[in-house]
Amino acid sequence: MHLLSLAIASATALPAQAETVTVAPGDTLATISRTIYGQINYWRRICDENFDQLLGDCDRIKVGMVLALPPDLTPLAPSVAAVVPPANPNKVDEAPAVEPVAAEPATSEPDVAASQSQAIWAWADERFNSVEGFEFSADDQGVSMSGYVEKAKSSGRPGIWVRLPDAIEQTVSGKTVEIIVEFSNAPTAPIAVAYSTNDVGNSKWRQLLGNGETSGSFVYEVPPVKNGKGDFIGFLPNVTETGQTVVLTSLEVALKN
């Protein structure tokens, strides 16, 4: 299992008022943010704090680089500092469009405890896109999503979607994954999430939340890669056409043990 390590201290002994962090192998600004602050949303603040050193490029971090932490943010206490695997904040070029295949909505499945899974990817600043009829905007707080499309397809690039890195597509090929989502606001109506291989099948829409929860997950057996046209995770923020807007703050892909 890959673990994020901090050269200033181990994650279980993180100083309460750490001022700097040294980049270790596998680190990204997103995983550093989550380890120190308990959430990935402060990666941009860390980038801005080190603007001169990074030359304005948040993907420029290198092993051994000492990064300053924003002085106005308080790290987690040592007892609750998180240890998470590395995310990949590098943007990925879009795959050529393919003709989507209609898929019927699926019923929701019970959430699976995170302890039974090994996280291998967490959304950082990968670019979201959407099909016509949906709206989204991204900032330091997350991705705001809204819109409704009747009989939206779960295949191809579904709903409001983000493409997974190519390395993750290869890693999860033929394996069982858990998709874990978290929102800053509790949806008043169900949302739906789908995993699409854009090539050899998709999970169909899985309805989650809607009863006051802010996080949920579902499990999907990913078919083996065939042509490698990209894997996508899509969202329907307004399944029942209530007009709600939801704000995604965390999206993870985990391998089932």
Q: How confident is the model at residue 192 (pLDDT cuts 50, 70, 90)?
A: very high
Q: How confident is the model at residue 86 (pLDDT cuts 50, 70, 90)?
A: very low
Q: How confident is the model at residue 103 (pLDDT cuts 50, 70, 90)?
A: very low
Burial class (CB in 10 A: 0-12, 13-18, 19+), 151: exposed
Report the pLDDT value the prediction gives residue 88, as an integer from 0 to 100. Answer: 44
Numbered ranges of CATH 2.60.120.260 in the chain:
114-256
CATH 3.40.30.10 for domain 11-80: no
pLDDT at 196 over 90: yes
Fold category of 114-256 in CATH = Jelly Rolls (2.60.120)
Report the pLDDT value the prediction gives residue 183, as an integer from 0 to 100. Answer: 93
Q: Is the pTM of this model over 0.85?
A: no
Q: How confident is the model at residue 257 (pLDDT cuts 50, 70, 90)?
A: low
Numbered ranges of CATH 3.10.350.10 in the chain:
11-80
Q: How confident is the model at residue 83 (pLDDT cuts 50, 70, 90)?
A: very low
Report the pLDDT value the prediction gives residue 243, as an integer from 0 to 100. Answer: 92
**pLDDT tens sequence across 205-232:** 999 998 889 999 999 999 999 888 899 9
Residue 65's CB: how many other CB atoms inside 10 A?
A: 16
- E strand segments, 174-245: 176-183, 191-196, 206-208, 215-221, 232-236
Strand partners, 215: 182
**Averaged pLDDT of the chain:** 77
Cα–Cα distance for residue pair 234/195, rounded to 1 Å: 7
Q: Are 164 and 232 in contact (CB under 8 A)?
A: yes
Report the pLDDT value the prediction gives residue 247, as an integer from 0 to 100. Answer: 94
Which residue, 200, 101, 190, 110, is CA-closest to 148? 190
**pLDDT tens sequence across 24-73:** 887 878 778 878 887 777 877 888 888 888 887 777 888 899 999 988 88
Residues in the chain: 257
Report the pLDDT value the prediction gives residue 140, as an integer from 0 to 100. Answer: 80
